[in-house]
Amino acid sequence: MTREPDELVRVRAAYDREMRRDASPDCAQARVERTTAVARQTVDGPGWNGVLWSDLDEETADAEIAAQVAHFAGRGAGEFEWKLYGHDRPADLGDRLRAAGFVPEAAETLLVGRADELAALPVEPPEGITLRTVTDEAGVDLMMDVHAKAFGVQRPGIRHLLLTLLRDEPETLAAVVAMAGDTPVSAARMEMRPGCSFAGLWGGGTLPQWRGRGVYRLLVAHRARIAAARGIPYLQVDASQDSRPILRRLGFEELGTTVPYVWRAQR
What was the pLDDT predicted at 1? 47
pLDDT of residue 3: 60
Closest CA to 151 of 242, 83, 75: 242
| pLDDT for the residue 226 | 98
What single-letter amino acid sits at 198? F
State the sign of the Cα–Cα–Cα–Cα dihedral 64, 9, 17, 84. negative
Same domain, 158 and 43: no
Look at residue 96 in the predicted model and tell me its pLDDT. Answer: 98
Give the pLDDT score at 242: 87
Q: How many domains does one find in the chain? A: 2
Q: What 8-state DSSP symbol labels residue 17?
A: I
Helix (H) or strand (E) holding 98: helix 93-99
CATH value at residue 27: 3.40.630
Are 103 and 118 within one domain?
Answer: no
pLDDT value for 5: 74
| Full residue range of the structural domain in which residue 161 is found | 113-256
The secondary structure element, H or E, covering residue 68 is helix 61-74
Residues 6+ apart with CB under 8 A from 170: 135
Q: What is the distance between the alpha carbons of residues 142 and 156, in angstroms, rounded to a whole number?
A: 13
pTM above 0.85, yes or no: yes
Q: Do 94 and 166 sit in the same domain of this protein? A: no
16: helix, strand or coil? helix
- Identify the CATH number of the domain in which residue 160 sits: 3.40.630.30
The CA dihedral of 236, 240, 243, 249, to the nearest 10 degrees, is 60
Q: Is the domain of 161 the same as that of 211?
A: yes
pLDDT in tens, the chain (267 residues): 456 678 899 999 999 999 999 999 999 899 999 999 999 999 988 899 999 999 999 999 999 999 999 999 999 999 999 999 999 999 999 999 999 999 999 999 999 999 999 999 999 899 999 999 999 999 999 999 999 999 988 889 899 999 999 999 999 999 999 999 999 999 999 999 989 999 999 988 999 999 999 999 999 999 999 999 999 999 999 999 989 999 999 999 999 999 999 999 986
pLDDT of 155 reads: 87
Annotate 20-57 with three-state secondary structure. HHCCCCCCCCEEEEECCCEEEEEECCCCCCEEEEECCC
Do 128 and 79 share a structural domain?
Answer: no
